[in-house]
Amino acid sequence: AQSVAQPEDQVNVAEGNPLTVKCTYSVSGNPYLFWYVQYPNRGLQFLLKYITGDNLVKGSYGFEAEFNKSQTSFHLKKPSALVSDSALYFCAVRAAVNNAGNMLTFGGGTRLMVKP
Amino acid sequence: GAVVSQHPSWVICKSGTSVKIECRSLDFQATTMFWYRQFPKQSLMLMATSNEGSKATYEQGVEKDKFLINHASLTLSTLTVTSAHPEDSSFYICSALTGQGSYEQYFGPGTRLTVT
């Protein structure tokens, strides 16, 4: 079975400071990893993904994430947070070789609060 | 590209009635669509996987007779909540894969259902 853990329910950061939202995963074989952002009463917006290749993945809105196979982590980062980054962030995983209908498993979500 | 829409964006219905939610892929053909529900401040829970032209595959604990899913065309899947109860009130989100072998899901904006 595949699983995702986002250990922090909420992350608070001051505007202009770097931010990190943590994600660890468990999956059989190689993972496909995703980050999504959700604003209130909205669906999920895709931020970035890791499929293969460079462990550092750059995505939308200045976000990036680093795939660390030994630590089974895929932490989301941004060098300088904006107030508008305040939202709910979800990490998701699926196995590269997938016999479960391409099913994604989501973490519990982390609320990011960026204060001016 | 890869836009998914949902209709309605919100709906209020009375207990005992049924409500239908539509999920459309606007600029691509989706052989597979997924239906999720999300309770306040919680993560997405997969309800079912819908493949065009075949019966949906429901996750454990999801009542297939209560949550009817129809994927009659490559661009449309519907979720009908039958005999709705207040506990069915939730945010329902669909997603779609862009094709065979695709690994990236595109999400709709969600439908907020309130059952009174």
Q: In this structure, how many other beta carbons lie within 10 angstroms of the beta carbon of residue A52?
A: 8
Q: pLDDT tens for residues A32-59?
A: 999 999 988 788 898 999 998 899 999 9
Residue numbers of A between 33 and 52 with CB closer than 8 Å to B:
34, 36, 41-46, 49, 51
Count interface pairs A-B at CB distance under 8 A. Answer: 52
Q: How confident is the model at residue B100 (pLDDT cuts 50, 70, 90)?
A: low
Q: Which of A8-12, A76-80, B94-98 has the lowest mean pLDDT?
A: B94-98
The phi and psi torsions of B48 (rounded to 5 degrees) equal: -165, 155
Is A57 near chain B, with CB under 8 Å? no
Indicate whether B15 pLDDT > 80.
yes
When pLDDT is averaged across residues A20-39 and rounded to a whole number, the result is 93
Most confident range (mean pLDDT) of A9-18, A92-101, B26-35, B97-106 is A9-18
B99 CA to centre of own chain: 18
Query: Percentage of residues in chain B with pLDDT exceeding 90?
Result: 68
Q: pLDDT tens for residues B32-87?
A: 899 999 987 788 899 999 888 888 999 989 999 999 999 888 899 999 999 999 99
- The distance of A15 to chain B (nearest Cα, Å) reads 23
- The distance of B107 to chain A (nearest Cα, Å) reads 6
Substitution target from B44, B57, B58, B111 for chain A, most A beta carbons within 10 A? B44
Indicate whether B2 pLDDT > 60.
yes
- Is the separation of the CB atoms in A26 and A33 below 8 Å? no
Indicate whether A62 pLDDT > 70.
yes
- At A110 the pLDDT is 96
- At B89 the pLDDT is 95
- At B54 the pLDDT is 84
- At B51 the pLDDT is 86
- At A102 the pLDDT is 66
When pLDDT is averaged across residues A61-74 and rounded to a whole number, the result is 96
Q: pLDDT tens for residues A72-102?
A: 999 999 999 999 999 999 999 987 776 555 6
- Is the separation of the CB atoms in A45 and A36 below 8 Å? yes
Residue numbers of B between 61 and 100 with CB closer than 8 Å to A:
91, 93, 95, 97
- At A98 the pLDDT is 63
- C-alpha separations of A70 from A2, A67, B16, B81, B103 in Å: 17, 9, 51, 43, 23
